[in-house]
Structure 1
């Protein structure tokens, strides 16, 4: 069972990283500009964000095995449609289908582990499954670059098919069915309002410089605000709202959500912008650019063990403020990369970013969820997951938009990438101001049965 969950998580983690190094090749094949492919990434992350909260309810309603089987099947079908897409629109729609399946792979897999593994072995089981989340980002960019050069970009999606088919057979044979038919009412209206808020906000950023112009961007932003405000009276009236408003009475949860959203914009932009910079401006091959991203994943995996002693030594508040500045500074330093830039310095920059970014995620996750009550633990974790996925999409949208705007203003692309890296780096640094508002006394008191730390969380 653990290997089944591992394979599902690996497939999802691989798919979020393998695409980035192939973007220029896909754009060339579809007769599009590379920056025009940002909807391909944003569509996937937004779909994941919108549907993740419903995964637990689906498992309770239809059974763990049935939902997990369906999730893999939808993901595989989405991968096939991605590989056979001939236009940007077709590819974007196929990525939405992939996102529908991907949104359930990790939550349902984690739920299957929780319900079928003895409590004394749960942390060890989650730690085993979480290795897939670390291995995927290590192999993803390199494998994507190699497949593009040795075969074609279509294989970055087709590689999911044999893995998925084996997973489907294994699920039918080894995954326990789980109980079905017993589920509390799901807040579909609340989920729809928050989904509308996220989608319209993301589209507003993209539309403000597109064919719709500022007027469309303002209208979409207003729609985002209105849908968020409508959720407040809805949550007060609904017996079982998607997210209780009492969640936001925990000060560090609110601060952590805002800090996560702002800090992850830069981190979300980097995997999208770096391969484009390396291939389009520095002349790297797809495989070479994939290899250059290895230091990010490797140092990130190593640095995870540093977070506990550093936080114990300096405290959450001091650590997050300083580490946030390091993350933002390392992102801004990518602006210095240019033809002839020393390879050793590039590796050092990427390594510092990978290590500090990994520790940043672990620390932000902890301060956000640490003091939630048992009653709010599940919904708080779901909302947190939505914000994480939203931030990745916003990072791609903002990063791509900045490059497009600076390119138009300056007439050339090379300095546009540099200015974009500086800009998203500064946005990340701004989140240090948010983390200064953490309630340190609240962080040091004993936890109130908050959710168990998930080693798979990034």
Structure 2
């Protein structure tokens, strides 16, 4: 595939949204999705979101329970980050295979299998007696989650015309956002009044319902001639991602510097070998040729950097509330739920904002505002009233949710149907990889702050430093947002129509 060339928008039929496709390029923008959305695309989005609901509830409930679980397992609270990392590690390793599996066996078959794996992992987590066993069980959960996320997104993208995409993504995210709203207070209630193991048992009825709905309403879409599975690429990418993530995670652990260095070195070496293996290869498990599309490349890079903060937040916030401020798990949950409430409030506005300002301007300014909101969390102290913390978190969740809605939509603006499976797998892999890295960066920053300040247990000053480190990294995504073309994704957002309408009114 050759890189796409950017040009000036024209009425010429060969030029759409300023993109002039070359022969063999990824796609024209009008190849994205069917000409008309399926009649039940909202229902499909809600069914897919039921699986995301289960995942988000699990993640947010677990974050609230980490300090209590650490006491039961006899480890320091910050060492519980490995329980989050192992899940996200499985996502990063197995997501690349999801697209090929869906093309070969059918999206419905893969989706239902993923739900069963997630339920099995949840049951094992609830029975875990040690930190080591829960890490393994979370990894099994992650294998199921690895297939649910991109395959569900793939089903939706194949059901929706580009003009309905922002709306469809918002429908997809609504139940997924209800999960974080329910999660923190539910987690606080379970930890305070029941046993933390019930955190995982609640996944079982939700998973059973999702399993039935998928079988009832989602078609088993598959390719007539699926590509061959890239076994060597899968091994190399898995070794690279796995060693890098666990190497970074171990940096935060005392006495593990040597092992961490070895793992990072192995991961980097495997990554180099994968790049050599995948370069120019048809059917590579992670298709590097997708990065030749400028819009896709920028969405991957800028979105990945921004997710450093998004990954760190569910790890740092509950620890800050419970360890730093001394709040109970229940009280912590009722405060951190504000981010999800802010996210949900944004959904009705995404389409209007993108239509008015376009993707580029919205991503630039909103990204700065969202990152600054989470940086303010570093100023929290015992003197802050609870309502003020709640407002800051709701503000941050509102703007950060918009940022990811925009990234998740514009990423596919130039990807055709032929490459949609590989594009969703590629994008989802880096999405989860950077969420994992966010946890690792937060854990390392917290540990280094404790060392510099001479603290055996984390204090509010240590948490403040960790928040400012991760938000400073995410703020650098602005440099990449500036590189989006002014008319990038204009047909998806409706910004092109809005500009045309405004021009007609001015002329009149």
Normalising by the smaller structure, the TM-score range is 0.7 to 0.9
- Between Structure 1 and Structure 2, the one with more helix by share is 1
For structure 1, the 5+ residue unaligned runs are 448-458
SS at match of 1:19: helix
Deviations, residues 119-162 of structure 1 (Å, cap 9, x unaligned): 89x97887655432121111111111111112110000011123
Equivalent-residue separation in structure 1 for 2:137 and 2:313 (angstroms): 24
Equivalent-residue separation in structure 2 for 1:180 and 1:374 (angstroms): 11
2:300 to 257, 267, 286: 257
Equivalent-residue separation in structure 2 for 1:49 and 1:111 (angstroms): 17
Is 1:155–2:198 an aligned residue pair? yes
Work out whether residues 82 and 249 of structure 2, in 8 Å CA contact, stay in contact via their aligned partners in 1: no
CA 1:424 to 1:170, structure 2 compared with 1: closer, same or farther past 3 Å? closer
Equivalent-residue separation in structure 2 for 1:105 and 1:173 (angstroms): 17
Q: CA deviation at 1:369?
A: 2.8
2:462 to 411, 416, 428: 416
For structure 2, the 5+ residue unaligned runs are 1-42, 493-508
CA 1:76 to 1:244, structure 2 compared with 1: closer, same or farther past 3 Å? closer
Q: CA deviation at 1:28?
A: 1.0
Q: CA deviation at 1:30?
A: 0.9
CA 1:84 to 1:187, structure 2 compared with 1: closer, same or farther past 3 Å? same
Q: CA deviation at 1:166?
A: 4.7
Indicate the residue corresponding to 1:382 in structure 2.
425
Q: CA deviation at 1:419?
A: 0.8
1:321 to 364, 367, 371: 364
Work out whether residues 346 and 402 of structure 2, in 8 Å CA contact, stay in contact via their aligned partners in 1: yes
CA 1:224 to 1:267, structure 2 compared with 1: closer, same or farther past 3 Å? same
Work out whether residues 330 and 425 of structure 1, in 8 Å CA contact, stay in contact via their aligned partners in 2: no
Which deviates more from structure 2 when the two are superposed, residues 295-304 or residues 126-135? 126-135
Please tell me the root mean square deviation across aligned C-alpha atoms, in Å: 3.0
Is 1:284–2:327 an aligned residue pair? yes
Equivalent-residue separation in structure 2 for 1:324 and 1:111 (angstroms): 26
Work out whether residues 327 and 429 of structure 1, in 8 Å CA contact, stay in contact via their aligned partners in 2: no
Equivalent-residue separation in structure 2 for 1:148 and 1:243 (angstroms): 40
Which deviates more from structure 2 when the two are superposed, residues 96-105 or residues 9-18? 9-18
Work out whether residues 43 and 96 of structure 1, in 8 Å CA contact, stay in contact via their aligned partners in 2: yes
Indicate the residue corresponding to 1:453 in structure 2.
none
Is 1:197–2:240 an aligned residue pair? yes
Which deviates more from structure 2 when the two are superposed, residues 98-107 or residues 210-219? 210-219
Equivalent-residue separation in structure 2 for 1:156 and 1:33 (angstroms): 20
1:303 to 346, 363, 369: 346
Which deviates more from structure 2 when the two are superposed, residues 405-414 or residues 106-115? 106-115
Deviations, residues 361-401 of structure 1 (Å, cap 9, x unaligned): 12223343323344433322221111111111111111112
Equivalent-residue separation in structure 1 for 2:200 and 2:384 (angstroms): 33
1:238-257 equivalence runs, <5 A: 238-257=281-300
Q: CA deviation at 1:341?
A: 0.9
Deviations, residues 302-329 of structure 1 (Å, cap 9, x unaligned): 2133334434444433332222222221
Structure 1 length normalisation: TM-score? 0.87
CA 1:383 to 1:6, structure 2 compared with 1: closer, same or farther past 3 Å? closer
Larger C-alpha radius of gyration, 1 or 2? 2
CA 1:114 to 1:313, structure 2 compared with 1: closer, same or farther past 3 Å? closer
2:113 to 70, 84, 88: 70
Equivalent-residue separation in structure 1 for 2:168 and 2:351 (angstroms): 21
Indicate the residue corresponding to 1:432 in structure 2.
478
Aligned residue pairs: how many?
445
CA 1:160 to 1:196, structure 2 compared with 1: closer, same or farther past 3 Å? same
Q: CA deviation at 1:193?
A: 2.1
CA 1:380 to 1:431, structure 2 compared with 1: closer, same or farther past 3 Å? same
1:334-349 equivalence runs, <5 A: 334-349=377-392
1:58-457 equivalence runs, <5 A: 58-109=101-152, 129-168=172-211, 183-210=226-253, 213-236=256-279, 238-412=281-455, 413-414=458-459, 415-440=461-486, 443=488
Structure 2 length normalisation: TM-score? 0.79
Deviations, residues 395-443 of structure 1 (Å, cap 9, x unaligned): 11111121112112212321111111111121111221222233335x1
SS at match of 2:476: helix
